[in-house]
Structure 1
Amino acid sequence: MQDTKIYDQLLLGHVVLHDCEIPKGYVAIHGGLVADVGDATSGHPEASVVEDFGSNFLLPGCIDAQTHSRSQKDNEDFIWSTRTAAAGGVTTIVDMPYDAGLLICNAERFNQKKQQAAEQARVDFALYGTAHPEEGSTKLAELAEAGAIGYKFSTFGTDPDRFPRIPPYQMHDCFKTVAELGLVCGVHNEDDESVKHLIEQVKAQGKRDYQSHTLSRPKYTENLAIAQVYELGADTGCRAHIVHCSNKRGIDICKSFQDQGFESTTEVCLHYFTLCEEEDVARLVGKGKVNPPIRDGAEREALWQHLDQGNITAVSTDHVSWSEDRKNKPNMFENASGATGLELLLTLMLTGAEARDIAFHKVVKALSWNVARLFKLDNCKGALEVGKDADIAVVRREPYQYKATSSGHSFTDWSPYDGRTVNYRVSKTMLRGQWIFDGKDVLAEPGSGQFVSPLTKRAN
């Protein structure tokens, strides 16, 4: 007997799933959850509200696996990062534990951040925890109980208080504890001793221009750290995750551990897919400074090949909105590292995939499906599947030239993508069955976003 249930909402359009596309598809929504997905060619279910988006794409809302909402004190915060996310079709952000003045290394600090973020967030959010070098693994279990999505560590010491290095022997102890907790460890991948030596060497040579950054952080310094992290994971049984791989060799290393049966995963940031040193960092200088550095055009293309082959677990932004005075120094070493990206994560990835004839479902897999599984959110997030949150991005093809100040949804008035032609726009964004962006305005009020974690449950 045909199902005669009338759903709350029905969306018609070109549905993109993690493994296929339905050019004339539908998504039925009931009670804020996905109730049905299918091919509308021969008919579709009934609903109280039907919206036909024609040839526009209906995709799962993105989960940005790496954002920094509070890296600069009294700057962006969740009030803006989640606004930018909503405008970009990102329905969940995973925020890093390195807040200015407050390392999120115990349950008290974690719960404080969770409460404050909940008052501001316009999209759903998850939070990483971390360890203080003086405390080691002692606080990790309480962070898990508070709902940490996983743990972020660094092989490089950027700042002893805000962004400390966790040495290998201590990381090994942490990994053993995290393996028992069943969560993931995401690690910043740069060899501390080598990079610090090379920085001084490059400075001694009088080099301060854009190339000095790559010279002081060559690929081998990144890949040494990658191999170390995966080996620690292999020895402890911990799920070891590299949070920003910039080069082909790093992903090859990851795949070799996967082929040996280890749960090794890797993440590539938007800027590594869309920028290259000789074309972009050369003109952006400090605004193109990220760690690890943006590599050359050949490495960029190799990353797209790895995405096409399914070798990249997640694509993220590593989003941070530094004020312009922290990014505009002619001396490369005096600039802060990091860049914005939330508003363009989905549309720039689609633009790049189109240019290389890569199927959009492969982009979806790295922006939502894989990410939900990485963080154990797949019972409620990451896919257009029955029973999961109705988090949806509606995207249309409409080329335009991006400028950070034009939309009004970015905290900063600069972007490394200013002047970039983007072939796609987000027409609408839905979070748990509610429209939170209408193509022009963010409709979600602060506080409408929810905290999510591996402990989150959804009613069937």
Structure 2
Amino acid sequence: MHDLVLTGTVVTTAAVQSDGWIAIDDGRISRFGQGTPPQAAKTEDHGNALLLPGAIDPQVHSRSQKGQEDFIWTTRSAAAGGVTTIADMPYDDGFLVCTADNLRLKAREAGEQARVDFALWGTIAPHDGPRHIPDMAKAGACAFKFSTFGTDPVRFPRIPADLLAACFAAVARCGLAAGVHNEHDEMVRANIRRVEEEGITDWRAHGLSRPALSEALATSEIYELAAATGCSAHVVHASIERGYELCAAYRRQGFDTTIEACIHYLTLDEENDVARLGGKAKINPPIRPRREVEGIWAHLVAGNVTVVSTDHVSWSEERKTNPNMLKNASGAPSLEVIYPLFLSELSRRHLSPVLAARLLAENPARLFRLTSRKGGIAIGRDADITVARRESWTYDTRASGNSFATWSPYEGRTLDWRIAATYLRGTQVFDGTQVLAAPGHGQFVTPEGNG
């Protein structure tokens, strides 16, 4: 007699199993299969809906703007979007997560707020060098984030190549991954100056100021540093197909290189969406022309995309509506719709939802060394299950009630899949309409052997 059995169409990282079931005991998956389900204290029948592994979003910014969402809202949006674990970035407004003490403090504060599970990235302050990396790893950092571009000298600093090499070596000794924001600082700054001198202020300005070559150069630098130091190197957002070609080439040479496609690079394009949305579609690196979008999809099908993320951040609307494109904050909210967006694109392209199980769950768990508890549907792992039903519906940010942001680049988009339920460690945290989990239900998850 199991605690709980869910029935529906089970999606593993290898197959789609119709007439399937998942048995859950003590919050973990005990068995799964097809046909007649086993007996349980409670059985929940989801018909033909997909039973997918809960997503692990590898790139979330909960605290980029003070007074905004914090973990209270990011994890609420996550639960509603079928995301059961978020990996939060270390660049909090006024609080850089660059020491073990800072990481432990953030973990305590997030633990009081989180409705789903969370992992935490660490980083460095440039003047500290790599000296705090070992202690942050012991405190439970899931990975370490750096940037080749200086967004802000304190909150989001550039790490020059020599220092980045030293940090990579330190991260490698901890057995973790180094994730890097991939834009060439000098080239971007030169192009920003040129765009400003030419007086270009409309939607075109952002893409022109951050050309594809600036991204390719930074990506090459990151992977060469990985080759030299033996570090697992992860490019945290690639908007150009050349990035995926580079990652695949280094992998063929035997290096542990990985690469991330944010959902906006798979669903939005410059000539249609950026032209229409302006500042609400300003993201770094920029959303590219449709030819790049299709190129990324070709790499996804070929297996050259490691993970898919949101790079979620809920800037207040006034920071996204300046008519001068370059004056807007960069980033967009999408936690609540990542699974519906990705499943809709997969089905429209006649691709299997198995890809969602791999890119939204299994591979992120591997990236963060969490596979003993998290990832695709497997015996012994946490019963983090997302139920998605086929349904045509239109996304309305305000109507959902589960997003702090009052805007979205996906506002008004018709989707083919809706999240019908989300389970975290066997407990239902979203029922298709309401988020049921209270703040504090989420747990801090750390890499195997750490924390």
- TM-score, normalised with respect to structure 1: 0.97
2:21 to 6, 16, 26: 26
Contact 1:429 1:435 in 2 (8 A): yes
1:310 lines up with 2:332 in the alignment = no
Q: Which residue number corresponds to residue 388 of structure 2?
A: 395
Q: Which residue number corresponds to residue 419 of structure 2?
A: 426
Alignment of 1:7-406 (within 5 A): 7-40=2-35, 43-406=36-399
Contact 1:153 1:185 in 2 (8 A): yes
For 1:84, the aligned partner's letter is S
For 1:383, the aligned partner's letter is G
Contact 1:13 1:55 in 2 (8 A): yes
Can you list the C-alpha shifts for 1:10-57, whole angstroms capped at 9, x where unaligned?
1110111111110111100011000001112xx232111111111100
Number of positions where the alignment pairs a residue of Structure 1 with one of Structure 2:
451
Q: Which residue number corresponds to residue 3 of structure 1?
A: none
Tell me how far apart the structure 2 counterparts of residues 44 and 387 of structure 1 sit (CA, whole Å): 18
Identity of aligned residues (%): 52
For 1:446, the aligned partner's letter is P
For 2:88, the aligned partner's letter is D
Contact 1:147 1:455 in 2 (8 A): no
Contact 1:377 1:454 in 2 (8 A): yes
Tell me how far apart the structure 2 counterparts of residues 107 and 250 of structure 1 sit (CA, whole Å): 32
Tell me how far apart the structure 1 counterparts of residues 67 and 103 of structure 2 sit (CA, whole Å): 19
Can you list the C-alpha shifts for 1:32-84, whole angstroms capped at 9, x where unaligned?
000001112xx232111111111100000000000000000111100000000
Tell me how far apart the structure 2 counterparts of residues 456 and 297 of structure 1 sit (CA, whole Å): 43
Contact 2:56 2:83 in 1 (8 A): yes
Can you list the C-alpha shifts for 1:216-268, whole angstroms capped at 9, x where unaligned?
10111001000000000011000000000011111000000000010000001
For 1:116, the aligned partner's letter is E
Tell me how far apart the structure 2 counterparts of residues 192 and 37 of structure 1 sit (CA, whole Å): 49
Contact 1:57 1:395 in 2 (8 A): yes
CA shift for structure 1 position 190: 0.1
Contact 2:129 2:163 in 1 (8 A): yes
Tell me how far apart the structure 2 counterparts of residues 296 and 65 of structure 1 sit (CA, whole Å): 25
Tell me how far apart the structure 1 counterparts of residues 354 and 40 of structure 2 sit (CA, whole Å): 27
- TM-score, normalised with respect to structure 2: 0.99
Structure 1 stretches of 4+ with a deviation exceeding 6 A read none
Contact 1:63 1:91 in 2 (8 A): yes
Q: Name stretches of at least 5 consecutive residues in structure 2 with no aligned partner.
A: none
Can you list the C-alpha shifts for 1:324-378, whole angstroms capped at 9, x where unaligned?
0000000011100000010011110000011111111012100000110110000
Tell me how far apart the structure 2 counterparts of residues 407 and 226 of structure 1 sit (CA, whole Å): 37
Contact 1:14 1:25 in 2 (8 A): yes
Tell me how far apart the structure 1 counterparts of residues 391 and 363 of structure 2 sit (CA, whole Å): 27
Tell me how far apart the structure 1 counterparts of residues 263 and 205 of structure 2 sit (CA, whole Å): 22
CA shift for structure 1 position 199: 0.2
For 1:74, the aligned partner's letter is G
Secondary structure of the equivalent of 2:322? coil
Secondary structure of the equivalent of 1:350? helix
Tell me how far apart the structure 1 counterparts of residues 189 and 13 of structure 2 sit (CA, whole Å): 41
Can you list the C-alpha shifts for 1:280-311, whole angstroms capped at 9, x where unaligned?
00011000000000001111112112111211
Q: Name stretches of at least 5 consecutive residues in structure 1 with no aligned partner.
A: 1-5
Contact 1:310 1:362 in 2 (8 A): no
